[in-house]
Structure formats: C-alpha cells, structure tokens
Amino acid sequence: MVLASNLGYPRIGEKREWKFTLEKFWRHDIDEAEFAKRTKAIRLEALKKQQAAGIDVIPVADYSNYDHVLDTSVAFNAIPKRFGNFDHQLSLTEYFAIARGTKDHVAAEMTKWFNTNYHYIVPELDDVNFKLLDNPWLTRYLEAKAELGIDGKPVILGPVTFLKLSKLHDAHLTTAELIPLLNQLLPLYQQVVKELAANGVEWIQLDEPSLVTLTDPKQLQLYRQALAAIRAAAPELKVELQTYFERPDYLEDILNFDVDAFGFDFVHDHGTLLPELKALGFPAGKILAAGIIDGRNVWRSDFSQKTELIKDLLTVVDSDHLWLQPSNSLLHVPITTKNETHLDPTIKAGIAFADEKLGELKVLTDFANDKDVAAEIDQQQAALQALNTSEHRNNPEVKRAVDAMLQSKVERHSPYKQRVVAQESLDLPLLPTTTIGSFPQSKEVRAKRLAWRKKQISDGEYKDFIKQETKRWINIQEDLGLDVLVHGEFERTDMVEYFGQKFSGFYATDNGWVQSYGSRCVRPPLIFGDVSWSEPITVDETVYAQSLTKKPVKGMLTSAVTIINWSFVRDDLPKNIVADQIGLALRHEVKALEDAGIRIIQVDEPALREGLPLKAKYRQAYLDNAVEAFKITTTGVKDSTQVHTHMCYSDFEDILPAISALDADVISIETSRSHGESIKAFENVTYDKQIGLGVYDIHSPRVPSVEEIKQNIHRALQVIDVHQFWINPDCGLKTRNEPEAIAALKNMVQATDEVRAEVSVGAV
C-alpha cells in the first residue's frame, strides 16, 4: 500500500502563537515553565492536524524554538566560545543568546537556508569540542507517542549537511577541514540513533539537502561514511535519506547508499529525475519517498498531472515501496486558508496552504491505492480551470505594455562616470551616512494600523498619525546628523506585502504568515494574476518627508525579483515574465517619484542571490532575467537622479558581475553579521560605483560601540576607495526598538565623524 508521508510542518501556530510566546519570554513576561507549556501546545496541535489528515508517516522533532540548525549546534555543543563553555543542556536564555546576541557578545551569523527566505543560524566551529548535551529528537518522539499515540519519524539534520552549513575561521569548510570534524561528530550521531532505537523508533528522516548542491563526486564518500556509521550504531533503525529544493546529481552512486528510503523532490527537479530513475532502475526493497506536492508555493496541485506522475512512479517501484509526500518541509508555506475570509472565491479555491496540502496528499495517496476519489479530483480541476481562465490571469494590456518596453533599449541615459558628475549637485559629504529605509514600528504604530484596518479610526486620522511619526523621525535623523534621510515606512507592514496591496494582480493575505527568522514572520503576497500600476503608491509620504528637511530624502521601493522571491508566484507563467510585469509597474512609480522632485530613489533587491538556482547551469539565465527586470524599473530617470539598491545575507563573489550589471549608482550590502566576509568579495575585483557595506548588525538587540563600528569601516576601506564608500546599518531598523535604533545610529555617526577626521590627515 502507498503511504502518505510528511517532511515537516510550520512551527508558528495558526495565529502565530509561537511568535508571541517567544517575544513574551524575551520581554520576561513569562518564565521557562510557561514557555514550555505554550510551545508544547503548539507542537501537539500540529501533530494532531497531521494525524487527522490521515498522514501515515508523521515527522516529529521538526519543531524548533528558533531554528533547527541552531538546535543541532547546541545539541552537539557546537557553540561559539564567546557564549561560554557548556556541559549541560542549554537554558532558553543561553540558547537565545547565541541567536540574538547579548550586551557583550555579537550574535552568531545568520544566512538564508539554501534558496529560500528562511534564515538559519550558521554554526561556528572554531575550537569546537563536540559532545552530546541534549537529544531533542528523542524528547520530541517520546512526547508525540505519550501524548497522541503517534509513532513518529524524528527529523534530523544530517551530519554532512550540518558541517557544510558551518564555518571555520569565518569561511565554509574545505573537504580537508570537513573530514576530521566529521570523524569527531559521527560518534555523537551514533549515540543519538542508539538512544532512538532503544526507545522504539522505527524510522528517522535524515535530511541531507546539501546533496543537491554537490559538484565534487569525491565528496559522496562523506555521506557514505556517515550513513555507514549510523547503520553500524543502530542496524534495526530505518533511515529515510531526504533531499529537497532540487534533484541530486550522481544518482547512480547515491542509490547505492545503505539506507531504507530515498526522499527526492519531483517538483523542483526540472523534470529530469523520473526519466533517470527509469533508466537506472530503483534498488529492490527500498522505498521511494516521492515529493510530488509543492512545499514552497501555495497553488492547488494540478491533479491531472499528479495522477500521471503517480502512475509513472508505480512503474519504478511497487505500491508497497512508494511514499507520497511534499517536495520539502511545509515550514515554507502558511498553515491554513480557512482564515482567509476576504479572498476572492475564485482565487481561494485555487490555493492550498499546509493543511490543504495535507488534504491533497491524502487524495493522491488514496488515488494511488485505487480508492474512488474522482469527485475530489474533478472539483479541484474545475477550481484550477476557473482561476486560469479568469480575467485575473488574462489582461492583454499588460502583455502589450511589457512587450513594447522590451523592444526599447532598457539602459540609463548615460554611463556611470557621467551620471556621478550630474549627481554632485546632491552636495553629499565624504562617507555619506544613511539608513536602509525602515525605522522601528512601535506598539503605537502597530495599534494605529490595526485600529485603521478595523475602521475604528478614519483614513484622515491614520494619515495624520503617519505624518506625525514621519516628522518626528525626520527630526531625529537631523539631530543625529545623518546625511541622506528616509521617511521611515511607518505606513508599511512589510516591504513586499505593502506593494502587494497596491498593484493589481496581487493579494495580501489576512493570515498567510510564514517564518523568516527567529520570531520574525512575514506574509508573502499572492501574485495571482497579471500585474499593473494604476496610481502613485509611495509619493505622498516621500514628498511630505522631503518637505520637512533640506537634506535629500530617499524614495523607497522593493525591486521585482525580491518581490518575486518573497511572494507566492502564479505557476502558470514563467517567473521572468511575471518579474518583467512587476518591473514595468515599478517603473511608473520611479517616474512618479522623480517627477515629484525626489532625487535619490532606492530600489531594494535583498533577495537577488536568494533566488539563485542551486544548479550552476541555470544561474546565468536567472541573473540575466533579474538584471532585465531591475533595469526596466530604474532606467527611465535622469542622470542627476541617484539610484540605490540594497542586498543582504549573501555570498556575493560569484554574482558580482550581475550586481554591477544592475547599474545602480549606489549599492548597500550586509557585512557585519558575516564578520566582514562579504568584504572579501571586493578584494580582487575593482567595483567602479558607490557602495555601502553595512557597518553594524540590526538583527541583534545589542548596541555596537563607536570603536566596533570604526573597525568595520576601516576593514571596508581596505578594499573600497573612500570616495566611493557610504556608511549605513546592515538592513532596515523596523524590528528594533527606538532607544536601540537611536543609540546605534548615534554611534554610527560618531564613528563616521572620527574616520572623516582621520581621512583628512591621511590616517585611514
């Protein structure tokens, strides 16, 4: 019989109960006992849903209090020495200190999980002393069994992927560095699986997604060694080797690994996996765990395609050796559509969040087991047909406008060397200081927005409040001595969601929350149809802010590819076509800002690298499309208008040509949380435009000292000419509180003033 399997479920709770529990603990409103009680309820509710949905193989230990990579680090004592030496299971305070930093110690680095918008805490292995401080996989397994009778499948991050995600001396591990660390780590994995087997665990899900990025076949031996060690320690334990987000290469070798099930992603494999499996043949007696439901997007599955895929899969394995599952953990999608009460019925019928995906999985599993699900299949197909033929997805004017734009030369009027002369009229000092865009959204800001949404205050009252906050922060910025100001974005909940509320073809959900990092949850908008611009979106707020100061105020927009990567994008068109539609809509907004007298316009592209395909052979086409969409947005302005862009949490060296091709006058890039590693990308490359390498980390509540910021500036000036360099924080300040933000910016301005003084006497 074909079984339904899941790989992971969202942690946050239907109404973000998890987020609020974390933040109450951080504010000391609840203690560890109350925290444990509340988070246990969230975990059990998630398991009950999967149980009720008829999932046969339910994951446990996929939950985390912050991040599953951090959980693996603290379980194995891979803890940065600055946080102390440990011989015990960490308390919550000790655990969160690593992720968030303390007054005296910077947080561990945070970066994107493969090509998603989820952030993980990067393990730091300098002077590591691996030892088992905790076995959370056993704890969660026993909890599920005792409370709900679920004989679950513990989800464990595999040892090779864990090490490949780690850093040693601020760099990713070489193979030579990885091998001895793997040898030290494997005995602890063996201890974990021994304890699991001794307590009755039948299956574990060993996640090794780094297999899909493997380019050196010699490294297959590392995975083989790890699996052999696990088998030797607990021969009775069954192992599902799980990959996702792409397909692995070297498939013939991988199919010879000593595991009981192979988990492959049949959604993001570019259609290449099944033909190769047919050609190679699947190993006898092994289970094929086939990811056939898209775990990264929210559109209903096309059952006509999925049922054909199932038929094909059953030519590779028999029904007793096939599991059907999502392509990856459902961590990356919202929980349920039932709370979307304002959504157009045609659109709502075409989307599936985590709970609905479990329902789809059950229908498809029943189909595979020859049960009568014709009515369910017909109903779903009718819903998809209604969406695809609706006017939402068939606006000929949008297609004509994009085609016409692409017929023209999408470039700035003049090369950068001429533009920079025209931009001297901005009268900016050496080492100009600015921020990335957003300022703290206080309780009062959020309360006013909620009251406005509930129609408890009028549009006029809300706009007046936004103006008051804008004016207050313009004054704060002037008092601090910043050179280029921003209006603060108090009217925006999220840099993508906000535009999703304004463009046609978008829908901003009511409760479509997903975790981004820590307790930070975002609501990716749905791009359900053709995208167009109808009226100015950001002009009023920006022009009002500019009227309050003689210093330049930046217009703040989000670029097309970031909107794409942080949205749930319609799957009936190629993404590059959707990006061009958004780029053209944004072009109208850029022109409206310039016509209103705004001289600096920032078009943020923080997710450019995030969307980079995991396989090198697909990357250039993606980058070419990203550059095209960005230029559609930005190339209609005068030479004297300065275009900025911002990027964060990326390894930049391999995409520097694309960054340069964007042809922005100024880029700003995160560097401080990566301890300056991003700066290395510029050591061997001459970057000819202006750049701000973020000088302090905004994701941590700690306030950096003047000296610390000066060190970061000096580090950057070793590779960037002083006349090209801008001073700014790593990212927007929305998530910080006001005293933290002001104190950090004050130190940033003071550090800049001191470096300027040093420059004047040639001391850089």
- Would you call 172 a catalytic residue per the annotation? no
- How far is residue 695's CA from residue 731's CA, in Å, rounded to a whole number? 10
323 is in an annotated binding site: no
Q: 606: Cβ–Cβ under 8 A, 6 or more apart, which residues?
A: 562, 646, 647, 648, 649, 731
Complete DSSP assignment for 527-550? EEEEEE--S-SSHHHHHHHHHT-S
143 is in an annotated binding site: no
Of 729, 760, 742, the residue nearest 481 (C-alpha): 742
Of 666, 660, 671, 653, the residue nearest 726 (C-alpha): 666
Of 265, 310, 241, 214, the residue nearest 615 (C-alpha): 214
Considering 487, 699, 714, 723, which one is annotated as catalytic? 699
105 is in an annotated binding site: no
566 is in an annotated binding site: yes
The pairing of beta strand 520-522 with beta strand 568-569: unpaired
707 is in an annotated binding site: no
- How far is residue 533's CA from residue 530's CA, in Å, rounded to a whole number? 11
CA 592 → CA 20, 331, 488, 533, 568, distances in Å? 39, 38, 19, 11, 27
397 is in an annotated binding site: no
541 is in an annotated binding site: no
Complete DSSP assignment for 350-370? TB--HHHHHHHHHHHHHHHTT
513 is in an annotated binding site: no
17 is in an annotated binding site: yes
Q: Which residue has the tokens 């090209």?
A: 724
Nearest 5°: the CA angle 538, 539, 542 is 85
- Cβ atoms 512, 347 nearer than 8 A: no
First-last CA distance in the chain: 71
- How far is residue 242's CA from residue 261's CA, in Å, rounded to a whole number? 8
609 is in an annotated binding site: no
- How far is residue 238's CA from residue 259's CA, in Å, rounded to a whole number? 7
18 is in an annotated binding site: yes
Q: Mutual orientation of helices 575-595 and 619-634 as an angle, nearest 10°?
A: 20
646 is in an annotated binding site: yes
Half-sphere exposure of 560 (CA within 13 A, CB side): 32
DSSP lists the bridge partners of residue 527 as 506, 569
Q: Which residue has the tokens 């479920």?
A: 9
Helix (H), strand (E), coil (C) string for 450-466: HHHHCCCCCHHHHHHHH
Dihedral angle, C-alpha 713, 714, 720, 723, nearest 10 °: 70
Amino acid at 651: D
Q: Which residue has the tokens 């994701």?
A: 699
127 is in an annotated binding site: no
CA 276 → CA 279, 280, 551, 670, distances in Å? 5, 6, 61, 41
338 is in an annotated binding site: no
117 is in an annotated binding site: yes
438 is in an annotated binding site: yes
648 is in an annotated binding site: yes
Residue ranges of the annotated binding site for L-homocysteine are 436-438, 489, 604
Residue ranges of the annotated binding site for 5-methyltetrahydropteroyltri-L-glutamate are 16-19, 112, 117, 520-521, 566, 610
Residue ranges of the annotated binding site for Zn(2+) are 646, 648, 670, 731
Residue ranges of the annotated binding site are 16-19, 112, 117, 436-438, 489, 520-521, 566, 604, 610, 646, 648, 670, 731
Catalytic positions are 699
Residue ranges of the annotated binding site for L-methionine are 436-438, 489, 604
